[in-house]
């Protein structure tokens, strides 16, 4: 769903990326700073209950994911290392977001929602791993109702409004929904990979 908006934001941020290139900043540096910013926004502000501030900080640094890719393509420095670094640090950023929510609920003794947030963290990693592992075996597993971008946008938007509007139920609802959607996505990817493996035993 969110991929249709990706090009719009990439074009909008292109001048920033060009400026960074002229200043000698590397795409890898942008990737690293973006991950540190996202992690700090989640792990510093979420546990303190400053949810809306955390979301704004995370969102600001999340745009680095578009900027570094544009910089790599524009400068001709796209590489397998850059792609590996980007994907690996994305997992760290995702874990920080849900980890921050785990701490938020745990500090408030809401252990049920802390467990749901932890489940979302784990299943988010599993969905990404399932696709990566399938591709390493020569198969495809891009299916699923809960793509990474959709999961992150949903949790950040609802986290923001749950705090601003004083409606914590919004955060509870989105976490339960993401827990279910992530589970379905993992099952979908397993099913797709199994069909491909059964159709071609050589895989």
pLDDT digits (tens, 9 = 90+) for 189-203: 999 999 998 887 665
Catalytic residue among 28, 68, 86, 90: 90
| Residue 51 backbone dihedrals phi, psi, to 5 degrees | -65, -45
Contact indicator for 182, 145 with CB cutoff of 8 Å: no
Contact indicator for 111, 85 with CB cutoff of 8 Å: no
Which of 153, 139, 145, 140 lies closest to 188 in space, CA to CA? 145
Distances (CA, A) of 163 to 23, 49, 61, 167: 38, 8, 20, 7
Contact indicator for 64, 33 with CB cutoff of 8 Å: yes
CA dihedral 89, 93, 95, 96 (to 10 degrees): 140
Rounded distance between C-alpha atoms, residue 150 and residue 162, angstroms: 18
Residue 20: what pLDDT? 76
CA dihedral 131, 188, 139, 81 (to 10 degrees): -10
Q: What is the pLDDT of residues 102-159, one digit of tens each?
A: 999 999 999 999 999 999 999 999 999 999 999 988 999 888 888 888 889 899 999 9
Confidence of residue 4 (pLDDT cuts 50, 70, 90): low
Which residue would you say has higher pLDDT here, 69 or 31? Answer: 31
Structural domains of the chain, with CATH: 3-199 (1.20.120.1760)
Rounded distance between C-alpha atoms, residue 175 and residue 117, angstroms: 6
| 90 has catalytic annotation | yes
Q: What is the pLDDT of residues 60-111, one digit of tens each?
A: 898 787 787 777 777 777 778 888 888 899 999 999 999 999 999 999 999 9
């Amino acid at each position: 769903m969110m991929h249709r908006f990706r090009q719009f934001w990439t074009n909008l941020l292109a001048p920033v990326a060009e400026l960074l290139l002229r200043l000698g900043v590397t795409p890898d540096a942008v990737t690293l700073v973006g991950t540190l910013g996202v992690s700090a926004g989640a792990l510093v502000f979420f546990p303190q209950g400053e949810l809306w501030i955390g979301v704004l900080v995370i969102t600001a640094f999340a745009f680095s994911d578009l900027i570094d890719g544009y910089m790599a393509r524009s400068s001709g420095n796209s590489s397998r290392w850059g792609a590996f670094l980007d994907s690996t640090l994305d997992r760290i950023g995702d874990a920080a977001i849900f980890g921050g929510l785990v701490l938020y609920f745990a500090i408030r003794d809401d252990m049920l929602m802390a467990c749901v947030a932890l489940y979302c963290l784990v299943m988010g990693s599993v969905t990404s791993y399932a696709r990566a592992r399938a591709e390493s075996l020569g198969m495809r597993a891009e299916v699923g109702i809960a793509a990474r971008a959709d999961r992150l946008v949903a949790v950040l938007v609802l986290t923001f409004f749950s705090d601003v509007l004083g409606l914590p139920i919004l955060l509870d609802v989105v976490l339960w929904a993401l827990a279910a959607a992530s589970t379905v996505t993992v099952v979908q990817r397993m099913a797709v990979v199994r069909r491909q493996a059964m159709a071609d035993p050589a895989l």
